[in-house]
Structure 1
Amino acid sequence: MHISWNDNIPIYIQLRDHMIALILSGAVAEGEALPSVRTVAADFRLNPITVSKAFQLLVETGLVEKRRGRGMFVAEGAHRQLLAAERAKFLTEEWPAIVSRIRQLGLDPAELLESVGQPKGDTPS
């Protein structure tokens, strides 16, 4: 597993976002244990405090739960919670910019919808 760190964003935030992406993609399932802080710190060559801070953010949002003596586990409903939050974020933050760009370029939304699912290089007829 490799992350390209962005110098403009704190590493603990980037690590939290990486863990969120793993949960959203299903790579880490609900009820599944997260790797230990020490393991993640060693894998990414990070300070364990940085990893702990990222994990604590996941706990505070209810995506991860601590089980005393057993570790941290992805909470039940985490995927559904993340999906709802990401959809809302897309619709309020990303979609308006996309719509603006579509209009700016004079693209036909119907043609764009037709092209969804077309293999690269193929053009709708």
Structure 2
Amino acid sequence: MQTWNQTAPIYQQLADRLAVQLLDGDPPEGEAMPSVRVLASRYLINPLTVSRAIQALSDMGLVETRRGMGIYVRPGAREALMKSEREQFLQEEWPALRERLARLGISAKDLNWESQ
């Protein structure tokens, strides 16, 4: 079961989750997204909320609606999303993380990049 937090609207949280899936290549570029009805059922939310999430992805240029056919992942969506996510990480998350690592006395040699 999916859990939603109070920090952002549910449609934005869903858009973020779907963007992560797109970043992972699911579904691949050029392929159809699950329908609004399927997503609403999967995440147990209102179809209008799903539609807002899809619209957010569309506004970002990641998906397109093809009348009568469904919602498709646009070519180049993964690369655009990766570029955007990298920029956000490097500008917003990395400085705070680097500061916390320094505060805790953790250096690069202490980090194991291979473990998951």
- Note whether the superposition's TM-score is higher than 0.5: yes
4+ runs deviating over 3 angstroms: none
Unpaired stretches in structure 2, ≥5 consecutive residues? none
Which residue identity does 2:113 align to in structure 1? Answer: V
TM-score where L is the length of structure 2: 0.91
- The residue that corresponds to 1:103 in the other structure is 102
Structure with higher Rg: it is 1
* TM-score normalised according to structure 1 size: 0.85
Q: Which residue of 105, 109, 112 maps to 2:110?
A: 112
> CA separation in 1, counterparts of 2:104 and 2:42?
44
Residue 91 in 1 paired to residue 90 in 2? Answer: yes
2:3 partner letter: S
Query: What percentage of residue pairs aligned between the two structures are identical?
Result: 45
Structure 1 residue ranges without an equivalent (≥5): 121-125
Amino acid at match of 2:81: L
Measured in 1, the distance between the counterparts of 2:27 and 2:82 equals 14
SS of 1:26's partner is coil
Q: Which residue of 1 aligns with 2:37?
A: 38
SS at structure 2 position matched to 1:76: coil
Give 1:45-64 correspondences, 5 Å limit: 45-64=44-63
2:18 and 2:25 map into 1 onto residues whose CA distance is 11
Structure 1: how far apart are the matches of 2:48 and 2:29?
25
Measured after TM superposition, the shift of residue 4 of structure 1 is: 1.8
Please report how far the alpha carbon of residue 44 of structure 1 lies from its aligned counterpart in structure 2 after TM superposition.
2.0
Aligned-residue RMSD, C-alpha: 1.6
Task: Give the C-alpha shift of residue 45 in structure 1.
Answer: 2.1
- The size of the alignment, in residue pairs, is 116
Amino acid in structure 2 at the alignment position of 1:41: A
Deviation, structure 1 residue 112: 3.4
The one of the two structures with greater contact order (alpha-carbon pairs below 8 A, sep at least 6) is 2
